[in-house]
Structure 1
């Protein structure tokens, strides 16, 4: 979710360490461990490691994160394109970001598109303090890769496009650029994934939708609930704020707002408030990966059953 800019320090030999991390991920798969859970956990662990230095936009850490995400998509059989964009930084400055866009050819080339988004940037470092961003938003990127894996070989009634966006924390710049390249008449839906670490004490996933999407998908989202996790669908910021005692405009809170502004329907999946949000304590230590995987299976099931 959006936050202000902070300074970053880099670590030497980061590229070598990145290569070792990717190799170790491949070895885990080769050894036959549980595919979905292994990758969800391994992807979050990798993205929050010191090599990525908190993934602040326009830093070496963010560049390494983009390369890692690209290689993960390629390993799943996707074609990957990098979208480099510029945006204003300060009164007179300019900064650059990079989206990672993954697509796969299918029989459904003329079908409507579903655009999945998850921002990979975070706050970086301040002095010696690292902001790993495990929930915000390594979890969303891991979820994005999970869904890309889940649908990689399945027949689809839509074109699925998976985008890891940059510069969300600085003002949704990556998603704004992405949307500027799209023909909105070709888009059925944006599914935005941001902060998906399920709280074991109150295991809920919130789906925040525009009014049109709420009417269409509310029942299907609610039926995802089971004994482990409750799914709640709403288009009311006031309702969510009452639950969390916050004052947040949830429509503007993440990359789905870039789609909302041009009239593209959206669903924002997340877990709402997190006491570790934008703190150095947002680490993997607070993630129940079993619940995380259960939530992702449900979201994949929802996508699979979307009506044409």
Structure 2
């Protein structure tokens, strides 16, 4: 009997640390956060709108509560840009940046999602629940986990501004990065991770950086949603997401990236992209899967 118990204990210790990560995401907080960030109160989070400023304050308050540090005063990297389509200059756009120093490496994993959306059109509010309150909330959930479980690499957590106006926040972050850019070991971008009828989440980027794929495959065994690869083959037109979101700015600097996201749905960039249309179980599973991938990559990239 004792030998059977020892064997059972061995396999419990071997497999429990990975499988238990799902329990370390605060699922109630996850749903509460996306409900707030995609509420009518935030008016679609168009840069410099009242709702957009409320989103900034919400994210900064969370970073402060988690005890994150930052290379920027009040967690805020301000920048300006001109939106040629509107003929308007945005003087105080803002990336919200938190930081956790690594326990074994000063190389950095940048974890990010954009928090802006496209605002409103008359009486219609474009709430942007999936695009991209979901990625912002996922980023905050990962920051919470690593604030309690110190990562091996240093990790920078960023809520990026003005992605919908040409990835302006990512451009500003890369252009004025507070460390040498070659200190960044990996970029993780999350953009639209809260719904998919096929129960599939894509990890884009392994065509360009194939050394990342074995870690992702190992971390995602038996996952729900299922982790898919692709959407990153040059020459495949709109099916190639290499330059589809903020990770493109890091890729252009030869920083390896993984972009987690879903394929477009009918509510994309419409007033129907609301909290009521996310899939809570998919969203929770997606964030748990991304966490497992990030934990695995954090260890594997030390070697």
TM-score, length of structure 1 as denominator length? 0.81
Gaps of 5+ in 1: 1-33
Q: 1:154 to 1:127 in 2, by over 3 A?
A: same
> Do the aligned residues in 2 keep the contact of 1:210 with 1:235 (CA within 8 Å)?
no
CA distance in structure 1 between the aligned counterparts of 2:288 and 2:110, rounded to whole angstroms: 18
Deviation at 1:88, TM superposition (A): 1.8
Match of 1:186 among 183, 187, 210: 183
Match of 1:197 among 190, 194, 197: 194
CA distance in structure 1 between the aligned counterparts of 2:58 and 2:244, rounded to whole angstroms: 26
Deviation at 1:153, TM superposition (A): 1.8
Q: 1:35 to 1:206 in 2, by over 3 A?
A: closer
Which residue of 2 is the match for residue 175 of structure 1?
170
CA distance in structure 2 between the aligned counterparts of 1:163 and 1:131, rounded to whole angstroms: 22
Which residue of 1 is the match for residue 98 of structure 2?
102
Which residue of 2 is the match for residue 7 of structure 1?
none
CA distance in structure 1 between the aligned counterparts of 2:224 and 2:239, rounded to whole angstroms: 27
Give the secondary-structure state (helix, strand or coil) at the position aligned to 1:296: helix
CA distance in structure 1 between the aligned counterparts of 2:35 and 2:233, rounded to whole angstroms: 31
Which residue of 2 is the match for residue 59 of structure 1?
49
Deviation at 1:275, TM superposition (A): 1.4
> What value does the CA root-mean-square deviation take over the aligned residues?
2.1
What are the Cα deviations for residues 122-172 of structure 1, in whole angstroms up to 9, with x where unaligned?
Answer: 010111100000000000011001100111121321000000000000000
Runs of 4+ deviating beyond 6 Å: none
CA distance in structure 1 between the aligned counterparts of 2:208 and 2:234, rounded to whole angstroms: 18
1:46 aligns with 2:36: yes
- Count of aligned positions: 267
What are the Cα deviations for residues 93-121 of structure 1, in whole angstroms up to 9, with x where unaligned?
Answer: 4213100001134545x520000110000
Q: 1:169 to 1:248 in 2, by over 3 A?
A: farther
TM-score, length of structure 2 as denominator length? 0.82
Which residue of 2 is the match for residue 22 of structure 1?
none
Which residue of 2 is the match for residue 158 of structure 1?
153
Q: 1:167 to 1:227 in 2, by over 3 A?
A: closer
Q: 1:124 to 1:265 in 2, by over 3 A?
A: same
**More deviation in 88-97 or 42-51?**
88-97
Give the secondary-structure state (helix, strand or coil) at the position aligned to 2:44: helix
